[in-house]
């Protein structure tokens, strides 16, 4: 028994020492078209394409990690992965805890979505939003009643079953849901909140931040980033 | 999976469904049932081992061991499970990485805690960044398993020490009269006889353990609850198989799975109980 424990303990400390520059990309996998898990069970979406291209340009070996939204920042700072690339808007509050690269997606409006035909005053109604998003923060200060959910998915169901009057989320996320709801849902208002979307990186990880910033700049310069934005968000989408 | 699944947009009815339920994503869902069964089959013996150690320690004649055993049982029973489920994997992970950093990267001078960041050198990461995904999965699973074993071990320990106390004293005295040593009495009289008293408590624990497995999802492991939630959600046109909110169906499947698992367990436990009662001086044993 002692031997087993000792060798298990030894194994813990001897597991390979050679390492290449592998970067673990943390994403939520539940926010199409930014990031989602496709029918093959793989990470897909705008951010998958951007992230893979950034890694090629920065000469990094990238692997994708799924982490729920709620704990996505704590798990970055404790080192479970090295970047957050999950449609995260750059805000001052988040910037106190982690660092952001420059934005790889320009600011885009958030949309209130409710059932079609309902008469809703978004400043006093019950509004659903995903926890710890800029939209949740906005609703909390708008005077409306905020109900928070762990995933964007659940905010939609909350509107569908009447728990909330409307949902506030990124317009790009809601667009296809509204379009494919056969008229069940409607866009009932837009607000501009938050800056662009950037990649979250540990504050101590300045080297990775510099590499990613350079790669994003090069993608902006040669138009490949705009091409990806158009591919995933349509031709009307704001570009750089 | 089937040859006609190449273009799902043209399919309808059963053909569509047959392709839908055999996507690679659904295969992950099906295999996650094995993850749950694996957890159950490993966590139960681990919890029994922890519990047995805790129960034995709390009956020890050495004061230090006794208070360690009692402390373990009391602490876990007095603190919400969820706190331990969240605490143990994080604490263990950081403790391992901290130790590895101290040993493998003793030349690095930067502190491990930098503001909010927990930074260990690349070689001290566990698992290494370069390790393949299944290594990360197994590592996460093992931490979760330890948390389950640790928490349920304390409950099992309490049940076992209660059962040990329930064995009639005259049985022990008879052993002493025949000149058995203390460890012989423990192994040959106390342990075999305590099971029937422990069984109701342990079977209850087993049921609770089955029902606690969705906590894996909380620990970031892609278990059946994760996949049911992920697959059931609204799927728009970016997915190959768009559909409305089908979570009720997926959770329904989970309900059937859990109910059959607990039903099956109950019938097995009933059989064990009948067997263990044979020849016992209890109401069920008819030997008194």
Per-residue pLDDT of B220-264, as tens digits, reads 788 999 999 999 998 998 899 999 889 999 999 999 999 999 999
- Token pair in block for residue A201: 């990186």
Confidence check: pLDDT of B51 > 50: yes
Q: Is the bond preceding B237 in cis, omega lying within 30 degrees of 0?
A: no
Residue closest to B118 by CA, chosen among A203, A7, A180, A64? A203
pLDDT value at A6 more than 70: no
> When comparing pLDDT for B53 and A5, which is higher?
B53
Task: Indicate if A30 and A100 belong to the same structural domain.
Answer: yes
Are the beta carbons of B97 and A157 separated by less than 8 Å? no
Instruction: For residue A183, tell me if it sits in a domain.
Output: yes
**A184 close to B (CB below 8 A):** no
Give yes or no for A68 touching B (CB within 8 A): yes
Å between B71 CA and nearest CA of chain A:
23
A168 within a domain of the structure (yes/no): yes
d(CA A185, CA B244): 13
Name residues 215-234 of chain A within 8 A of B (Cβ): none
**What SS3 state is found at A44?**
strand
A80 found inside a domain = yes
Report whether pLDDT(A1) > 90: no
User: Are the C-beta atoms of residues A104 and A50 closer than 8 Å to each other?
Assistant: yes
The reply to whether A99 and A199 lie within a common domain is yes
Same-domain pairing of A35 and A147: no
DSSP tag of B188: I
pLDDT digits (tens, 9 = 90+) for A79-132: 899 999 999 999 999 999 999 999 999 998 999 999 998 888 989 999 999 999
8-state DSSP, A89? B
B 125-164: CB under 8 A from A: 125-131, 133, 136
Using CB atoms within 10 A of its CB, is residue A203 exposed (0-12), middle (13-18) or buried (19+)?
Answer: middle
Whether B99 is in a domain gets the answer yes
Q: Which domain holds residue B167?
A: 22-277
Q: Are B216 and B144 in contact (CB under 8 A)?
A: yes
B106 and A CB contact within 8 Å? no
Token pair, residue A85, equals: 């690339």
Minimal C-alpha gap between A186 and chain B (Å): 16
In this complex, the residue of A15, A39, A78 whose CB is nearest that of residue B25 is A39
CA-nearest residue to B139 within chain A is A12
Residue B190 lies in a domain: yes
* Per-residue pLDDT at A18: 38
Give the dihedral of Cα atoms B119, B125, B128, B134; nearest 10 deg: -110
Among A39, A178, A206, A207, most B C-beta atoms within 10 A, so best to mutate, is: A39
A82 and B119 in contact (C-beta within 8 Å)? no
Which residue on chain B is closest to A45 by alpha carbon? B238
pLDDT digits (tens, 9 = 90+) for A57-84: 999 999 999 999 988 999 999 889 999 9
How sure is the predictor about A194, in pLDDT bands with cuts at 50, 70 and 90? confident
Q: How many domains does chain A have?
A: 2
From the CB of residue A69, how many other CB atoms can be counted at a distance below 10 Å? 23
Question: Is the per-residue pLDDT at B41 higher than 90?
Answer: yes
**Residues A94 and A201 grouped into a single domain:** yes
Instruction: Using DSSP, state whether A168 is helix, strand or coil.
Output: strand
Chain B CB within 8 Å of residue A77 CB: yes
Q: Is the dihedral of CA A89, A95, A96, A97 positive or negative?
A: positive
Q: Is residue A204 part of a domain?
A: yes
Q: Residue A213: its pLDDT value, please?
A: 96
Residue A2 has pLDDT above 70, yes or no: no
Q: Is residue A187 part of a domain?
A: yes
Same domain for A215 and A186? Answer: no
pLDDT per residue over A43-59, tens digit each? 999 999 999 999 999 99
Do the strands A83-84 and A22-27 form a parallel or antiparallel pair, or are they unpaired? parallel
Question: Does a structural domain hold residue A127?
Answer: yes
Query: In terms of DSSP H, where are the helices of chain A?
Result: 2-14, 46-57, 72-77, 92-97, 134-142, 152-160, 171-179, 206-221, 224-233
Cβ pair B240:A38 closer than 8 A = yes
The domain that holds B236 is classified in CATH as: 1.10.3720.10
Would you tell me the crossing angle of helices A46-57 and A206-221 to the nearest 10 degrees? 110
Q: Which residues of B touch A184 (CB under 8 A)?
A: none
**Residue A156 forms part of a structural domain:** yes
Predicted pLDDT at A13: 52
A101 in the same domain as A39: yes
pLDDT bin (cut points 50, 70, 90) of residue A11 is: low
Q: How far is A71 from chain B (nearest CA, A)?
A: 10
Our CA-based measurement puts residue A124 at a distance from the nearest CA of chain B, in whole angstroms, of: 27
Asked whether the beta carbons of residue B99 and residue A16 sit closer than 8 angstroms, the reply is no
A82 and A200 share one domain: yes
In a domain, B124, yes or no: yes
Which residue among A24, A63, A204 sits closest to B119, beta carbon to beta carbon?
A204
Q: Which chain B residues contact residue A153 at CB under 8 A?
A: 229, 233-234
Q: Which of B100, B117, B222 sits opposite A13 (nearest CB)?
A: B100
Q: For residue A175, give its domain range.
A: 110-191
pLDDT of res. B141: 93
Q: Do A66 and B222 touch (CB under 8 A)?
A: yes
Same domain, A142 and A176: yes
Is B148 part of any domain? yes
Instruction: Check B238 against A40: CB less than 8 A apart.
Output: no
In 3D space, the residue among B25, B33, B22, B24 whose CA is nearest the CA of residue B225 turns out to be: B33
Same domain, A34 and A86: yes
Could you give the CA distance from residue B209 to residue B148 in angstroms, rounded to a whole number?
8
Cβ atoms of A233 and A33 closer than 8 Å: yes
* pLDDT value, residue A53: 96
Per-residue pLDDT, B108: 82
Side-chain-side CA neighbours of B263 within 13 Å: the count stands at 6
Residues A206 and A179 in one domain: no
How many angstroms separate the CA of residue B94 from the nearest CA in chain A? 8
Q: Is residue B74 part of a domain?
A: yes
Instruction: Give the residue on A whose Cα is nearest the Cα of B118.
Output: A78
Cα gap A153→A132, rounded to integer Å: 15
Residue B27 CA to residue B288 CA, distance in Å, equals 55
Q: Do A41 and B25 touch (CB under 8 A)?
A: yes
Which residues on chain A are in Cβ contact (under 8 Å) with B233?
30, 151, 153
Enclosing H/E stretch for B150? helix B133-166
Tell me what percent of the residues of chain B surpass a pLDDT of 90: 64
Whether the pLDDT of residue A19 is over 50: the answer is no
Residue of A nearest to B104 (CA): A13
| Closest residue in B to A63 (Cα–Cα) | B133
Taking a contact as any Cβ pair under 8 Å apart, which residues of chain B between 86 and 105 contact chain A?
90, 93-94, 96-97, 99-100, 103-104
Asked if pLDDT for residue B278 goes beyond 90, the answer is: no
| DSSP class of A18 | -
Give residues 16 to 35 of A whose Cβ lies within 8 Å of B: 16-17, 19-20, 22-24, 29-30, 32-33
Q: What are phi and psi of A222, to 5 degrees?
A: -95, 5
The domain spanning residue A99 has which CATH number?
A: 3.40.190.10
* Domain-located, residue A44: yes
Out of A22, A39, A151, whose CB is closest to B241?
A39
In-domain check, residue B30: yes
Q: Are residues A82 and A187 in the same domain?
A: no
């Amino acid at each position: 028994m002692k031997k087993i424990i000792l060798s298990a303990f030894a194994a813990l400390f001897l597991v390979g020492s050679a390492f290449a520059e592998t970067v673990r990309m943390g994403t939520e996998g539940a926010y199409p078209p930014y990031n989602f898990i496709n029918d093959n069970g793989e990470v897909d979406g705008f951010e998958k394409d951007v992230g893979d291209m950034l890694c090629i340009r920065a000469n990094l070996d990238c692997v994708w990690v799924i982490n729920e939204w709620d704990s996505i920042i704590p798990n970055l700072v404790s080192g479970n992965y090295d970047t957050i690339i999950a449609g995260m808007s750059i805000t001052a509050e988040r910037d106190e805890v982690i660092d952001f690269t420059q934005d790889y997606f320009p600011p885009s409006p958030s949309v209130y979505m409710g059932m079609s035909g309902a008469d809703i005053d978004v400043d006093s109604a019950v509004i659903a939003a995903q926890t710890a998003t800029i939209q949740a923060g906005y609703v909390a200060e708008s005077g409306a009643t905020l109900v928070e959910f762990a995933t964007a998915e659940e905010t939609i169901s909350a509107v569908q079953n009447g728990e909330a009057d409307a949902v506030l989320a990124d317009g790009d996320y809601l667009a296809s849901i509204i379009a494919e709801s056969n008229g069940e849902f409607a866009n009932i208002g837009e607000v501009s909140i938050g800056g662009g979307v950037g990649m979250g990186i540990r504050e101590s990880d300045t080297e990775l931040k510099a590499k990613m910033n350079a790669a994003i700049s090069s993608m902006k310069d040669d138009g490949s980033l705009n091409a990806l934005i158009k591919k995933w968000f349509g031709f009307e989408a704001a570009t750089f | 999976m089937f040859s006609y699944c190449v273009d799902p947009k043209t399919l309808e009815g059963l053909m569509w469904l047959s392709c839908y339920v055999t996507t690679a994503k659904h295969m992950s869902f099906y295999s996650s049932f094995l993850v749950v069964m694996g957890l159950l089959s490993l966590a139960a013996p681990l919890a029994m081992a922890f519990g047995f150690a805790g129960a034995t320690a709390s009956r020890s004649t050495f004061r230090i061991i006794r208070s360690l055993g009692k402390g373990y049982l009391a602490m876990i029973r007095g603190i919400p499970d969820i706190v331990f489920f969240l605490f143990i994997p994080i604490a263990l992970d950081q403790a391992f990485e901290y130790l590895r950093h101290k040993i493998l990267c003793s030349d690095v001078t930067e502190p491990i805690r930098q503001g909010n960041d927990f930074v260990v050198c690349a070689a001290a990461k566990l698992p290494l960044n370069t390790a393949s995904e299944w290594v990360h999965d197994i590592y996460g699973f093992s931490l979760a398993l330890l948390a389950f074993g640790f928490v349920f071990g304390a409950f099992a320990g309490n049940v076992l020490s209660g059962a040990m106390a329930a064995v009639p004293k005259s049985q022990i005295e008879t052993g002493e009269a025949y000149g058995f040593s203390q460890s012989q009495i423990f192994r040959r009289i106390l342990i075999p006889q305590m099971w029937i008293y422990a069984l109701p408590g342990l079977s209850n624990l087993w049921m609770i353990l089955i029902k606690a497995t969705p906590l894996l999802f909380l620990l970031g492991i892609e278990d059946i609850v994760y996949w049911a939630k992920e697959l059931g959600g609204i799927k728009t046109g970016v997915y190959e198989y768009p559909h409305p909110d089908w979570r009720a169906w997926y959770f329904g499947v989970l309900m059937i799975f859990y109910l059959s698992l607990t039903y099956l367990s109950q019938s097995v436990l009933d059989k064990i109980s009948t067997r263990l009662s044979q020849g016992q001086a209890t109401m069920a044993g008819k030997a008194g």
